[in-house]
Structure 1
Amino acid sequence: MVIVLNASATPAQIEKLKQELENYGCSVWPTYGKFQTILGIVGDTGKLDRDYLLSKTYVEKVLSVQEPYKKANRTFHPENTVIEVGNQTIGGSQLAIIAGPCSVESKEQIINIAQEVKAAGAGFLRGGAFKPRTSPYSFQGMQEEGLELLQLARQATGLPIVTEIMSIKQLEKYSECIDIIQIGARNMQNFDLLKAAGQINKPILLKRGQSATIEELLMSAEYIMAGGNENVILCERGIRTFETYTRNTLDLSAVLAIKKLSHLPVIVDPSHAAGIWWMVEALSKAAVAVGADGLIIEVHQDPSNAKCDGQQSIKPERFASLMKSLREIARLENRAM
């Protein structure tokens, strides 16, 4: 349920109404706007008397919400959420560009790439320290050493760092040293991990599972937000279809659907979607054109010798050229970079 209060509602009236609703066992999540206040009600709302609520002079509307996700729902929060990370933002008028290698391979590699993507205009550095791989014999990442090297790259460039978490036991360490914690597609429905992520005050980049529906992605976000952490960034990274030419099928319509259903920022991962380097630039441009709030792109100096996903990584010089094109598209869409 959503209760819309008009501008005449005083802080005392709002507080009294919140107390009444909580006495019925409901949780109340207020959103304060310039001209109205919106109360999102979570719980057994069947006990609430709609006519009684509407009888209050400062109550403008009482709306039922059918979707199972409440806190991620745009009805509860009409304005877009903007997440601040250091001096960068995700979800506002400025596009967030996250770039870097699939995995951290050495100190020289990660610092050099960080410097190059920053020079091209990226606002965040990505890099895998712990790598979930389909085969147990594939490179699993530099792990703890990889985390340390990411921090050195941050010190060298000032770029906030984004890396994937694998398990709950890593959460304390990650919350101390990582700026944005990524929960990958394979863990999108690891509900214990999602609940634990809800207990920390750190932005979470949640990737859509390869076979997940949009509602399932939003419900996974709801797990995090229900725990108290509302700093969630959603990521469309392609879904599994019958097509085998590309690694996945990029669902750009999901960006539009999610932004209609939810207030959370949505970014696109064209690298994992296509799995083919020469498609990354065109898909990046298309993502910005449909309204994505940002991109996460794999960049590597020597893709043919990369230890992970070199086939979908672009070189720094191509990334720099892509950034010039993205600035033009962003300008046409009244966005900044």
Structure 2
Amino acid sequence: MIVVMKVGSPETEIERVSQELTDWGLTPEKIVGKHKVVIGLVGETAALDPLRIQELSPWIEHVLRVEQPFKRASLEFRHGEPSEVIVSTPSGSVPFGRNHPVVLIAGPCSVENEEMIVETAMRVKAAGAQFLRGGAYKPRTSPYAFQGHGESALGLLAAAREASGLGIITEVMDAADLEKIAEVADIIQVGARNMQNFALLKKVGAQEKPVLLKRGMSATIEEWLMAAEYILAAGNPNVILCERGIRTFDRDYTRNTLDLAVLPVLHSLTHLPVTIDPSHGTGKSEYVPAMSMAAIAAGADALMIEVHPNPAKALSDGPQSLTPERFDRLVQELSVIGKAVNRWSQPAVALA
């Protein structure tokens, strides 16, 4: 349920209404929009009469029920206004959201050694990326596949962060590692395999770093948004969704099926920013540029693209990784689409 206050409502009146609702056993959350203030109500609201709330103040414009099961993630909860997630990086604050330029996230699947991760960071930064992705802990289907270097890789990510000024995104698999990951990461990633690890979702929701939540391989949109709801309900409002492809019946030609239709669907359902990962979504580097451009045209707020200095020798996901040179050209190509939809601010890298 949401309470929409009238334009110009005094702050004292907003606070008084919030306190009254708190006394009723509800949890009010103030959401400041461009023109109005909305008070979101969480708790047992099913039996509440909206007219009873309306009578609390002449400054209340109207009271609406949130029909979706994902309350805090619902677009209704913010009265139709998209939210933004502002992430602090060594180079400054970077906003994710529908009213901001597309954010570029790039880097290798796994952190392999210091030379490789620092080199990659410097190359993708020069091309226009604002964040470096790199796995320290890697969930793999096979127990014999490379699982990442673990805690030692976090130190390498910190070195790349210091050298490049990029923000860092890396995945958490175990809540026991969360604190040390949060010391290095500017955004904490919850991977597809952990999308419904509810204990982990509660833990990342209880800490302050923004969270990138990847869609599970077979998850419905509602299951994905309910997973986001766990993080939001635990107190962390800074959630970024990431579509990375879903499993369908045809796996002969692409690794997954990249669901770009999810962009307009999510825009109608949730206020949360949406990232597209065309690398995992296709599994083949030759398809990544086309899907990246399509994602921007469809309204993506960010792209996560795998880049490796030598994909043929990558310890994981080499076939879907771009070389730094191909990433340079891709950013230039993306700038054309980004400018056309008014979602681009960075100059494209000049190619020799």
For residue 252 of structure 1, report the CA deviation from its aligned partner.
Answer: 0.5
For residue 110 of structure 1, report the CA deviation from its aligned partner.
Answer: 0.5
Equivalent position of 2:9 in the other structure: 9
Instruction: State the alpha-carbon separation in 2 of the partners of residues 50 and 143 from structure 1.
Output: 52
Equivalent position of 1:72 in the other structure: 73
* 1:303 corresponds to which of 311, 315, 320: 311
Instruction: Using structure 2 for the length normalisation, give the TM-score.
Output: 0.93
For residue 49 of structure 1, report the CA deviation from its aligned partner.
Answer: 2.6
Question: Does 1:162 pair with 2:163?
Answer: no
Instruction: State the alpha-carbon separation in 2 of the partners of residues 309 and 46 from structure 1.
Output: 48
Instruction: Using structure 1 for the length normalisation, give the TM-score.
Output: 0.97
Residue identity matched to 2:128: G
Q: Deviations over 1:6-49 (max 9, x none)?
A: 02432222222212222222111111234321111111113423
* 2:142 corresponds to which of 128, 135, 139: 135
* 1:89 corresponds to which of 92, 95, 101: 95
Instruction: State the alpha-carbon separation in 2 of the partners of residues 149 and 35 from structure 1.
Output: 45
Equivalent position of 2:42 in the other structure: 42
Instruction: State the alpha-carbon separation in 1 of the partners of residues 287 and 28 from structure 2.
Output: 45
Instruction: State the alpha-carbon separation in 2 of the partners of residues 54 and 27 from structure 1.
Output: 17
Q: Deviations over 1:195-247 (max 9, x none)?
A: 00111110111000011111111111111111111111100000111111211
For residue 305 of structure 1, report the CA deviation from its aligned partner.
Answer: 1.1
Residue identity matched to 2:25: G
Instruction: State the alpha-carbon separation in 2 of the partners of residues 207 and 35 from structure 1.
Output: 32
Residues 2 and 136 of structure 1: is their aligned pair in 2 closer, same or farther, counting only changes over 3 Å? same
Residues 53 and 8 of structure 1: is their aligned pair in 2 closer, same or farther, counting only changes over 3 Å? farther
Equivalent position of 1:312 in the other structure: 320
Q: Deviations over 1:150-185 (max 9, x none)?
A: 110111100011111111001111121211111000
Equivalent position of 2:158 in the other structure: 151
Per mean C-alpha deviation after superposition, the further-off stretch among 183-192 and 255-264 is 255-264
Instruction: State the alpha-carbon separation in 2 of the partners of residues 32 and 122 from structure 1.
Output: 30
Instruction: State the alpha-carbon separation in 2 of the partners of residues 124 and 116 from structure 1.
Output: 12
Instruction: State the alpha-carbon separation in 2 of the partners of residues 285 and 84 from structure 1.
Output: 24
Instruction: State the alpha-carbon separation in 1 of the partners of residues 34 and 104 from structure 2.
Output: 30
**CA contact 1:235–1:268 (8 Å) conserved in 2:** yes
Gaps in structure 2 of 5+ consecutive residues:
347-352
* 1:250 corresponds to which of 245, 255, 258: 258
Instruction: State the alpha-carbon separation in 2 of the partners of residues 35 and 101 from structure 1.
Output: 42
Residue identity matched to 2:59: Y
Secondary structure in structure 2 of the residue aligned to 1:22: helix
Secondary structure in structure 2 of the residue aligned to 1:75: helix
Secondary structure in structure 2 of the residue aligned to 1:46: coil
Question: Does 1:264 pair with 2:266?
Answer: no
Secondary structure in structure 2 of the residue aligned to 1:130: coil
Residues 34 and 163 of structure 1: is their aligned pair in 2 closer, same or farther, counting only changes over 3 Å? closer
Instruction: State the alpha-carbon separation in 2 of the partners of residues 231 and 35 from structure 1.
Output: 22
Equivalent position of 1:23 in the other structure: 23
For residue 277 of structure 1, report the CA deviation from its aligned partner.
Answer: 0.9
**CA contact 1:24–1:47 (8 Å) conserved in 2:** no
Equivalent position of 2:183 in the other structure: 176
Q: Deviations over 1:63-104 (max 9, x none)?
A: 111111111111112332222222222224211100001111
Question: Does 1:58 pair with 2:59?
Answer: yes
Residue identity matched to 2:72: K
**CA contact 2:50–2:64 (8 Å) conserved in 1:** no
Equivalent position of 2:284 in the other structure: 276
Instruction: State the alpha-carbon separation in 2 of the partners of residues 50 and 229 from structure 1.
Output: 28
Instruction: State the alpha-carbon separation in 1 of the partners of residues 138 and 34 from structure 2.
Output: 45
Instruction: State the alpha-carbon separation in 2 of the partners of residues 211 and 284 from structure 1.
Output: 22
Instruction: State the alpha-carbon separation in 1 of the partners of residues 35 and 331 from structure 2.
Output: 38
**CA contact 1:97–1:294 (8 Å) conserved in 2:** yes
Instruction: State the alpha-carbon separation in 1 of the partners of residues 128 and 96 from structure 2.
Output: 15
In the alignment of these two chains, the number of paired residues is 337
Residues 159 and 13 of structure 1: is their aligned pair in 2 closer, same or farther, counting only changes over 3 Å? same
Residue identity matched to 1:225: L
Equivalent position of 1:325 in the other structure: 333
Residue identity matched to 2:67: Q
Aligned residue runs from structure 1 range 175-214, under 5 A: 175-214=182-221
Instruction: State the alpha-carbon separation in 1 of the partners of residues 329 and 167 from structure 2.
Output: 22
Question: Does 1:111 pair with 2:124?
Answer: no
Per mean C-alpha deviation after superposition, the further-off stretch among 259-268 and 39-48 is 39-48
Equivalent position of 2:342 in the other structure: 334
